[in-house]
Amino acid sequence: MGREMHHNDSKEQKSSNSSPFIKPKSSGVIQRKIAQHGDVRKNIAYWKPILQKRRALLTKLITEKSNESFEHDFRFLLPLAHRLMEQGGFDKGNTELNNPYYLQSKGDLGYEALTKDEAHGKQTSNFGKFSTEQKGVEAYLEQLENNKHNDGDKTWVGAYLAIMKGSSFQDFIRGLQPDGNVAKGRNYSTKYTYVVPDDKKDTPVGTFGTMMGGMKHRLTNLIQDFIAINTYEIAQLQKEIAQEDDFYETIPLHDRIEYLQEDSRLLQKVLTELKQDASWWKQNHKGVSVQQ
């Protein structure tokens, strides 16, 4: 979870389990269920507007900050995958304090105390409380760009630049966790969703392996989720076309289908490259760019 680095507070990274839905321990603020990738693909009609809205918001904010736009912009994948790691899966929008990245910076509604399971046991800390989820996401990007350590150095600007450039999840994690796979120092997260595999403990995966593994899992599955969303929408559009007698009325529908097909083609290209990237866990490995 996000911290202002001049504080010594830390935060939880919820872990996933084998059940389709996991219910987090009560914080005294909110209770909600968290869906996993398989649940999303079983109910695309429900999740499609939620995930498309999150893609649109992140793309809008990234475009404004980078002053650069693309017809098929996949830079949203990095912060959305990070959100899944923070939440333990797909929340339905009722995130605690409208703070999907668990920032400990002050929200527009101030702070609220939450008790979280930290690396050294339960700890109660103040987290930013936001009036809307968009304000929480805006604050997250601002923190990545400008948060400073006690010595004045920017802590997570590498993660911010990875998003703006659409570079690899390796670049993103190295920027987010500058002190490596430890629950201390300048790192954003102090507890991890995934553990280093036993057969990798004596390899370079031990440096960034936990967060790298978590991001690769979320990113590769998230791409499949959006391909499934595109496929679902194409099928709906084709039904509309079949029911329309006036060809000229269907031209915008055909245009949308072509856009979605190209979107899926490019997403599949990223997915294939990610799956073929066997060196993802190496500390200095450049990785596969998410922006094609």
Q: Does the structure show a pLDDT above 50 at 21?
A: no
Whole-number Å distance between alpha carbons of 262 and 254: 12
Rg of the Cα atoms in the chain: 19
Q: At residue 144, does pLDDT exceed 90?
A: yes
- Which pLDDT does position 13 carry in this prediction? 34
CB atoms within 10 A of CB 45: 9
Q: How confident is the model at residue 265 (pLDDT cuts 50, 70, 90)?
A: very high
The answer to whether residue 161 sits within a structural domain is yes
* pLDDT above 80: residue 270: yes
Which residue range is the domain that position 128 belongs to? 21-276
Query: Which of 30-39, 206-215, 282-291 is least confident?
Result: 206-215
Q: Residue 12 above 50 pLDDT?
A: no
Residue 198 has pLDDT above 90, yes or no: no
Residue 210 lies in a domain: yes
- pLDDT for residue 205: 55
Q: How many domains does the chain have?
A: 1
pLDDT in tens, 243-254: 999 999 999 999
The beta-carbon contacts of 36-45 under 8 Å, at least 24 apart in sequence, are 36/89, 36/90, 37/90, 37/221, 37/222, 37/224, 37/225, 39/90, 40/90, 40/225, 40/228, 41/224, 41/225, 41/228, 44/228, 44/229, 44/232, 45/232
Q: Is residue 287 part of a domain?
A: no
Asked if residue 200 is part of any domain, the answer here is yes
Q: Is the pLDDT of residue 226 over 70?
A: yes
Structure confidence at residue 169 (pLDDT) = 93
14 assigned to some structural domain:
no
Please report the pLDDT score of residue 122 as a whole number.
Answer: 81
Place 187 in a pLDDT band, splitting at 50, 70 and 90.
confident
Whether 77 maps to a domain, the answer reads yes
Q: What is the pLDDT, as a whole number, of residue 183?
A: 62
Question: Does a structural domain hold residue 239?
Answer: yes
pLDDT, average across residues 100-105: 92
Whether residue 255 is predicted with pLDDT greater than 70 in this model: the reply is yes
pLDDT at residue 57 greater than cutoff 70: yes
- Give the pLDDT confidence score for residue 116 in this predicted structure: 77
- CA distance readout (Å), 229 to 172, 196, 261: 25, 31, 11
Q: Is the pLDDT of residue 282 over 50?
A: yes
pLDDT of 1 reads 53
Q: Is there a domain that residue 2 lies in?
A: no
Q: Is 184 helix (H, G, I), strand (E, B) or coil?
A: coil
| Helices 77-87, 133-146: crossing angle, 10 deg rounding | 110
The residue ranking higher by pLDDT, 281 or 68, is 68
Q: How far out from the chain centre does Cα 41 lie?
A: 17
Residue 98 has pLDDT above 60, yes or no: yes
Q: What is the pLDDT of residue 59?
A: 98
Q: How far apart are CA 243 and CA 219, in angstroms?
A: 37
Mean pLDDT of 30-43: 82
pLDDT score at 251: 97
Q: Is the pLDDT at 7 greater than 50, yes or no?
A: no
Q: In this model, does residue 26 exceed pLDDT 70? A: no
